[in-house]
Structure 1
């Protein structure tokens, strides 16, 4: 099916043409006719299949067919997503697809200027894309109202449960107009029982749509697995980076500490990279992502905060330096490559700990990752070594300073210990009984 076959407003067709889309993806072909006819949709599709464009096209079409005449300053459409990165990506896609629709689109998420977002929301927005936490914050301050919402979109619904946002999500949904007075669209990588319970509670008899649920990973991703010892992982990683000629590579690890240590070692060995994790300040995180998208940064190290919602063209390789502890995260990690019909390669390393997660991953993807054995010449042993920082060193470095010298956390003020030493013990009055130990 082509987008021109659909009965879309001229403004929406122009936005689709500007982005270069011509043919519908399977999820778009199944959901768009239902959503454009006004039905509620609960869609299941793997990452990178175009579900964002599917709900944005439906949303813009509905708002254009029901003009308000500019009477309201409150949002008419609400898109909820679990992570900041996903919110930023959806807003970017919305600005591109809705460039000719004349709608004000506003992203609301934490980690950036609080008052700036508050003012923008108070001035008025037609479409709001946000994470639950900050949306609730502004809602309690009565900065905006949800009483005029015509379209609700919940993206990555399963991730809302995983990240503990379900209570916040229900708080927002209960303040919307009745479910039969609005259109509801929900997309998720898995439509499990708890996701469908949410759909039946807050949606109006949703049509359930699933695209290739039997194949969890993208078709064009070449997957390979290396069994390797913990001490051999970094020599193998360097060898792979040099052999494969990876122009734009994402490396996933399980912990922030491992990400920072890997970052130091790669930079010391002439492999420029940066780290994004949940603790990286939001503006810095966006700047790093922009450098990676523009090709200024060849390697991006990330924890699972970046495994969903990022659409970066041209990611040639994804490397699971640590195998994820959650099997579902494996699918989302490797989904950062081979997006929108492109091809890519996903390389995973299973060390002594990671091997325990393989069975769950194979069961989840309903397939086995092909195994390759690394030849000796693939390992790089003459690399520059970097000592890992002791645990807690960063927090001590951020402590208060005294005459230009940093004090460890909890350090006593100068002279305090000596003063205590000079104190004489109190003399006991005559006849006083000793206290029991």
Structure 2
């Protein structure tokens, strides 16, 4: 199916043409006829298959078909709300929305934490047609009555399963209960996985949603070559260096499970002339966006990330994904390796299974419904003569001096205090009288108990 076969407004078709799209992907071909007819849709498909474009095209078409709520000259009120679990995904959706909706004339505003608090607040006050945001910052402004959700015509929830994983369900319900009734708005939900918990949420807040699942025999993208190496924890880094030198990885994403391991790996790679940077949940938002832009422009060859970057990010030309640590959640494996082989391209996913990671292999293979090919590294692939990074500066030592080296105490005049005089010979040192416990003797306490 081609986009020109659908009854789309000219402004939307111009944006699609400008984005370079021609034919629909499977998820777009199955959901667009339903959503464009006004039905609620819960869509499931692999990451990188065009879910974002599917709901944006529907959203622009619906808003163009109805007159603006601000036709009387008042400030535009939010007519559409798009919810996403992470800041990076919000930024990505806004970028796609600005491109696909460049000829529609809508005011699109992204709302997310960690950056431009007053700027985003003033932008909402000035009016926005479409709001894209994370639940936390949206609720913050909502409680301040910066904007209202009473005029929302369309709701989109992206990566709904991730909302559950990140504990956003109470916040999500707080927002959804302040929208118009579900039968007075159109609702779309998209995710790579639609489990039972997500479907219960859809039945609670959607109007008889049509479930569309585009899931091939393999949960992972077909053009991703997957390889697994069994290696001890001590040999993971020597093997990683050998793979980086042999594969010639132009643009690589390295995934780890913890921020501490990410920083340690960054120091070791930089020391061995593999420039890289880290993005994790507690990195400043401006810094995270700058790092991602460097990686997208090709100025940075290696990006180390925790699972905060495994969902929703579309970065062209990622040739390799390496699971330096295997994820504990099988779904995260699918999203991690989905960063490569996007939009029909080819890619390679390499996983290193150490003593701990080996326990997760069975669950991953059961989830993706196939075995991951195992390769055994030859001895010459391990690089043992690598450079050790300089140790990070230790915390400032305490200025407190050891007991034997402390200066003697001084009196008010500055002279050293004299030690207490020893008692005369033959005379015992008087001891301080022992303090009695309250309540008297045992006998007295027993009498009190009997009296009571």
Is TM (by shorter chain) over 0.5? yes
What number of residue pairs does the alignment pair up? Answer: 419
Give the deviation of 1:432 after TM superposition. Answer: 6.2
Corresponding residue of 2:55: 55
Matched, 1:157 2:160: yes
Match of 2:85 in 1: 82
Which stretches of structure 1, 4 residues or longer, exceed 2 Å deviation after superposition?
A: 69-73, 386-390, 417-425, 428-436
Instruction: Give how far 1:419 is off.
Output: 10
- Contact 1:229–1:352, Cα closer than 8 Å, also in 2: yes
Q: How much does 1:141 deviate?
A: 0.2
* Matched-pair contact (CA < 8 Å) for 1:273–1:297: yes
TM alignment of 1:63-74, pairs within 5 A: 63-68=63-68, 70-71=71-72, 72-74=75-77
Aligned residue for 2:151, secondary structure, equals coil
Pick the structure with greater CA Rg.
2
1:431 CA drift (Å): 5.6
1:367 aligns with 2:374: no
* Counterpart Cα distance in 2 of 1:374 and 1:33: 49
Would the alpha carbon gap of residues 432 and 237 (structure 1) be closer, same or farther in structure 2, given more than 3 Å must change? closer
- Matched with 1:433 is 435
Are the equivalent residues in 2 in contact too, given 1:48–1:340 (CA < 8 A)? yes
The answer for the alignment partner of 1:319 in structure 2 is 322
Any idea what SS the aligned residue of 2:348 has? strand
Distance apart, 1:189 and its partner CA: 1.7
Structure 2 matches for 1:59-208, cutoff 5 A?
A: 59-68=59-68, 70-71=71-72, 72-208=75-211
What is the Cα deviation at residue 430 of structure 1? 7.5
Q: Secondary structure at the match of 1:145?
A: coil
Provide, for residues 278-305 of structure 1, a one-character-per-residue CA deviation record: whole Å limited to 9, x for no partner.
Answer: 1110000000000000000000000000
What is the Cα deviation at residue 381 of structure 1? 1.5
Please report the TM-score for the alignment, with normalisation by the length of structure 1: 0.91
Matches within 5 A, 1:270-285: 270-285=273-288
Greater Cα offset, 285-294 or 188-197: 188-197
String of CA shifts for 1:143-200, please: whole Å, max 9, x gaps. Answer: 0000000000000000000000000000000000000110000012221111011000
Q: Gaps spanning 5+ residues in structure 2: where?
A: 412-416, 420-429, 439-452
Residues 420, 331 of structure 1: alpha-carbon distance in 2 compared, 3 angstrom cutoff: farther
The one of 368, 380, 384 aligned to 2:383 = 380
What per-residue deviation string (whole Å, max 9, x for no partner) do you get for residues 343-387 of structure 1? 100000001110001011011111111001111121112210126
**Preserved CA contact (<8 Å) 1:224 1:370:** yes
Match of 1:36 in 2: 36
Query: Cα distance 1:421–1:310, how it changes in 2: closer, same or farther (>3 A)?
Result: farther
Alpha-carbon distance in structure 2 between the residues aligned to 1:228 and 1:157: 35
Give me the CA root mean square deviation.
2.5
Q: Is the 8 A contact 1:44 1:213 kept in 2?
A: no
Note the residue ranges of structure 1 that are not aligned, 5 or more in a row. Answer: 397-405
Hey, what's the Cα distance between the residues in 2 that align with 1:418 and 1:102? 74
Partner of 2:333: 330
- The 1-side partners of 2:172 and 2:410 are apart by 60
